[in-house]
Amino acid sequence: MPTIFTHPAVALAAAPWFRRIPRSLLILGVVCSALPDIDTTSFAFGIPYEHPLGHRGVTHSLLFALLLAVCAAAAYRRYSRDAVTFRVACLFLFIVIASHGILDAMTNGGKGIGFFIPFSSHRFFFPFRPIEVSPIGASDFADEAGPVLLSEARWVWLPGLFICGAGFVWQRVKACQGAATIFRCKRSLHSSGSMTTPKRR
């Protein structure tokens, strides 16, 4: 898996592509992006890696991403005063949570991802796996942190930065197009006389 520091990169990169993601929803996305790795606790219960409940199993599936996104978005709508619709919150959270398994499937170690559990227990990797896998234990991670973080910076944070920047540009272009349309409408109304003040008789 990429480290717990890197999964949130997707939330930060995806947010600008939406018209408005409030800070509270962004923080929820950051937290949710790392939640699938809660399955590392399965080792403590003696559940094998390959088991559907094992690491990279059901909590990395698309179904889990959908259910967690729906529940988190519903809770967000219930307790937040921000004017974000359930649909937008749900879509943002689904992208962020589902991206966890996608990034894991691009790592060069561990076992594949159970994207379709419980419908299929097959584990998947992508053909392109440039991300250095992060060790699960904290002591092992301390030994290998350098190359792992360097690899994540190159393959996740750097592309994420470009995607984030492109999102800001996209929103700016849309805003300019909207402003231009309003300006054209006003001008055409003005020239047709619809906006002139009626004279008193």
Q: Which residues make up the interface to Zn ion (CB under 5 A)?
A: 1, 37, 104
Q: In the complex, what is the shortest distance from the CB of residue 69 to Zn ion, in angstroms, rounded to a whole number?
A: 16
Q: In the complex, what is the shortest distance from the CB of residue 40 to Zn ion, in angstroms, rounded to a whole number?
A: 8
Identify which of residues 52 and 167 has a Cβ nearer to Zn ion in the complex: 52
Give the whole-angstrom CA distance, residue 187 versus residue 165: 33
Q: Which of 128, 124, 127, 144 is nearest to 136 (CA)?
A: 144
Cβ-based neighbours of 101, under 8 Å, separated by 6 or more: 36, 56, 60, 61, 62, 65, 113, 115
Q: In the complex, what is the shortest distance from the CB of residue 89 to Zn ion, in angstroms, rounded to a whole number?
A: 23
Give the whole-angstrom CA distance, residue 32 versus residue 30: 6
Give the whole-angstrom CA distance, residue 66 versus residue 91: 9
Query: How much is the CA Rg of the chain, to the nearest whole Å?
Result: 23
Identify which of residues 104 and 152 has a Cβ nearer to Zn ion in the complex: 104
Q: In the complex, what is the shortest distance from the CB of residue 61 to Zn ion, in angstroms, rounded to a whole number?
A: 11
Identify which of residues 118 and 178 has a Cβ nearer to Zn ion in the complex: 118
What would you measure as the largest C-alpha separation in the chain, in angstroms? Answer: 91
Identify which of residues 13 and 97 has a Cβ nearer to Zn ion in the complex: 97
Cβ-based neighbours of 76, under 8 Å, separated by 6 or more: 24, 25, 28, 84, 89
Identify which of residues 12 and 42 has a Cβ nearer to Zn ion in the complex: 42
Q: In the complex, what is the shortest distance from the CB of residue 60 to Zn ion, in angstroms, rounded to a whole number?
A: 6
Which single residue brings its beta carbon nearest to Zn ion?
1
